[in-house]
Amino acid sequence: MLGSQMSAWGQQEPTGAAQSMDAGTLPAVTVTATGYESEAVETPIATTVIARDELQRWGAQNLGDAVRGKPGLAVTRDSAQGANPIIRGLGKDSIVLMVDGMRLNSAQPAGAIASFMSLGLAERVEVVKGPASVLYGTGALGGVINVRLPQARFEPGVQARTSLSYDSARREPRAAVVGNASSADHALMLGASLARPGDYREPAGRVPRSGYDSHAFIGQYRFRLGGGQQLRASLQRHEDSDVWYPGSTRSHPLPMVGSTTIHSPRQSRTLYELGYSRDGSGERPLNLDLRVYRQEMRRSINGWANGLGRDLSVTDVSFATSGLDARADWLLHPQHLLSLGVNAWQMKADPSSLAARPPNLNQLQVNKPFHDGKLSALGFYVQDDMQFGRLKVLAGLRHDRVRGSAAAMNNGSVTSGMDRSDGATSGSLGALYEVAPLLRPYAGLARGFRAADLRERYQNGPRQDGFFWAGSPQIAPEKATQLELGVKGDSGSLDYTVALWRNRISNYITGAQLSGPAAMAACGPQAAACKQTVNLGRAVLSGLEASINWQVAPGHRLSAGYSRVRGSNRDLDEPLFQMPADFVTLGWEGRIAPQWTLDARALLVRRQTRVATRFTRGGENATPGYGVLDVGASWHPGKDHTLRLAVLNVGNKRYHDHLTEGISGQEIKAPGRSLYLAWQGRF
């Protein structure tokens, strides 16, 4: 039974959740949850799997769009491009984002780390909800999101898949193509995507500066050595240009400036990977996978003075990560699948910045937030996947060492006390019992941690919330402990999940507003609006989430979901800052003719009144609830081609999510009614 899970880590694409309207659904398969292919319904971990067909169906522009409306997930955005996923109330700093199992290391002042990838090329998106540090180390307090891109396949001949789409609200044409060629022991995959969204339309008009340009290229070559062994070489390149973040707009104390808005003239991600894998055989197969990689995330981040019509600050930064991952999966016994692994990486950054000198702001001077920053991590883990009849137990243990260092910070004024090294032990224990295919209760206990990033440790400077932030080189890691109880079931025609969870975080990393002598000591002349990165004593999050997918009749399916998250700042005895609102999703898909299907989905979001008033000093306000309906029709002239027409936001509802960045009352609104046209084909 465990032997069926012994596919090589990171090598073979999961079979996915391909739908057959008449035969039910195949079980969702996840690699991210356990490190190898496993059915989600048989895993004592809360997961979400989004297949490529679903990404294409509703025209997901970015990863935030992809996860929106999924139970336990939410999105915060400051632009059309800058959409960061939220897992169970925890944001970009507390989750690990990956592409093909390699983490996107960076420190984002604005925009989304998740936008450094092309969703148009993605095969699937896998989400693990809850602490996942056993497999993924520092940062996985809230969970993990892994975008899986196409892999080179040993399939005879040449194949290609293409997609074209247009969104009228965004005036956005998009195109993507992926090709695969194989002969004997050689396989080559090449892919490219292009998107040109313009300034999108919300019900009251166009949102200025919301358009941008994006393109991406991926490639992979595989060579079979024989005996189940393979070598691979991969390249990924993604680039965005002319990206503005309207949600970052803030008023400026000087009347001639008026307000400032952050924009990124250019940003890119380049990844090189070399790997070796071996698929085991026999009664006790041993699978091996080894990879080394280099990833560079480059970005220009400028502050535009809207009153002056020019930049007040210009920053160029590159986050370069070199890493090594090694993993072994061994079917030690028919009841024990043992996984062992080591992960090591080092990220370097040395931002170069120029800032306008007051009072006239007509001369740029050098501003060095920090110099020669490094963050290094080394972790070892072991995991045992055990099967005892109907009882499945998954247990894991990991130890990490994370070290941060910098030569200087705050324009060279601080050169001592910069180094800090922390050790952390993470663990997880989950059990699932199959009473029946539709009744599989499970329980899980997981512990994770997050060491501060380079920005939190060393950067002194203004941020988009209007405050001058002071770094804290000696900030301690966060630690989280989550208890989860749930039940899953899957009979082919009906599948569902229900999960109740509670996550307690100690040393919660956030910003504290300072005043008086403390503000002057931390921020100097900027003491009037000063925050410093600090460890909050304790934060507690809890929630309930549920989803169901039911084939009510041949060719007709109903779906529903519910999400509820509560966060508490125990130090200030108030709600935690920026908690997602409760919501319900409803969906239907039905075949109305042999080649035609209709579908609809509704998202109903409750008014959010649980806000942090003391922590933000009145800066977070309640947000009205709203409802949005999308409808669509798909024509399938053959098994390899689909033409789709959909109307998004049918009621032209004007709204914004509670987590949207911006001054209260001035947040950017979501796109209005839009006509979405798409075609997918295989050759």
Tokens describing residue 316: 């160029």
Q: Of 488, 651, 501, which is closest to residue 564 (Cα–Cα)?
A: 501
Half-sphere exposure of residue 52: CA atoms within 13 angstroms, side-chain side: 20
| 446 within 8 A of 481, measured Cβ to Cβ | yes
| Beta-bridge partners for 587 | 559, 601
Which residue is it, tokens 């989304």? 112
Q: Of 653, 542, 568, 666, which is closest to residue 605 (Cα–Cα)?
A: 653
Q: Of 167, 195, 169, which is closest to residue 645 (Cα–Cα)?
A: 167
Q: What is the DSSP string of 553-599?
A: ETTEEEEEEEEEEEEEETTTTEEPSSPPPPEEEEEEEEEEETTEEEE
| pLDDT band of 657, cuts 50, 70, 90 | very high
Other Cβ atoms closer than 10 A to 415:
12
Q: Does 359 sit behind a cis peptide bond, omega within 30 degrees of 0 on the bond before it?
A: yes
pLDDT of residue 17: 33
* pLDDT of residue 382 exceeding 70: yes
pLDDT of residue 20: 47
| 195 within 8 A of 172, measured Cβ to Cβ | yes
Alpha helices in 41-184 (DSSP H): 52-57, 63-67, 133-136
| 63 within 8 A of 86, measured Cβ to Cβ | no
Which residue is it, tokens 């465990």? 2
Other Cβ atoms closer than 10 A to 173:
14
Range with lowest mean pLDDT among 278-282, 408-412, 458-462, 564-568: 458-462
Range with lowest mean pLDDT among 232-246, 429-443, 605-619: 605-619
* pLDDT of residue 112 exceeding 70: no
* Residues 6+ away with beta carbon under 8 Å from 56: 163, 165, 644, 678, 680
- How far, in Å, CA of 526 to CA of 450, rounded? 29
Our measurement of the distance from residue 325's CA atom to the centroid of its chain's CA atoms, rounded to an integer in Å, reads: 20
pLDDT of residue 35: 83
The structural domains of the chain, with segments of one domain joined by +, span 2-682
Residue 290 φ/ψ, nearest 5 degrees: -135, 135
* pLDDT of residue 241 exceeding 90: yes
Q: Is residue 436 left, alpha or beta, with left meaning phi > 0 and alpha meaning psi from -120 to 50?
A: beta
Tokens describing residue 639: 């098994």
* pLDDT of residue 489 exceeding 90: yes
- How far, in Å, CA of 599 to CA of 631, rounded? 6
pLDDT of residue 205: 92
* pLDDT of residue 84 exceeding 80: yes
Range 2-682 has CATH code 2.40.170.20: yes
| 65 within 8 A of 83, measured Cβ to Cβ | yes
Half-sphere exposure of residue 204: CA atoms within 13 angstroms, side-chain side: 9
Sort 336 into a burial class: Cβ within 10 Å, 0-12 / 13-18 / 19+. middle
| 149 within 8 A of 122, measured Cβ to Cβ | yes
Mean of all residue pLDDT scores within the chain: 88
| pLDDT band of 118, cuts 50, 70, 90 | confident
Residue 435 φ/ψ, nearest 5 degrees: -70, -40
Half-sphere exposure of residue 174: CA atoms within 13 angstroms, side-chain side: 28
| pLDDT band of 14, cuts 50, 70, 90 | very low
| pLDDT band of 250, cuts 50, 70, 90 | confident
pLDDT of residue 19: 42
pLDDT of residue 22: 53
pLDDT of residue 8: 34
Tokens describing residue 209: 């500066």
- How far, in Å, CA of 78 to CA of 83, rounded? 7
| Beta-bridge partners for 371 | 408
DSSP-assigned letter for residue 75:
E
- How far, in Å, CA of 167 to CA of 160, rounded? 24
Count H helices, E strands: the chain? 6, 42
* pLDDT of residue 234 exceeding 60: yes
Instruction: Please compute the mean of the pLDDT values over residues 318-328 and round it to a whole number.
Output: 94
* Residues 6+ away with beta carbon under 8 Å from 376: 345, 346, 347, 402, 403, 404
More confident residue, 418 or 18: 418
pLDDT of residue 110: 64
- How far, in Å, CA of 355 to CA of 148, rounded? 39
Tens-place pLDDT, residues 665-682: 788 899 999 999 999 999
| 424 within 8 A of 450, measured Cβ to Cβ | no
* pLDDT of residue 18 exceeding 70: no
Q: What is the DSSP string of 143-177?
A: EEEEEEPP-----SEEEEEEEEEEETTTTEEEEEE
More confident residue, 215 or 8: 215
pLDDT of residue 34: 84
pLDDT of residue 16: 34
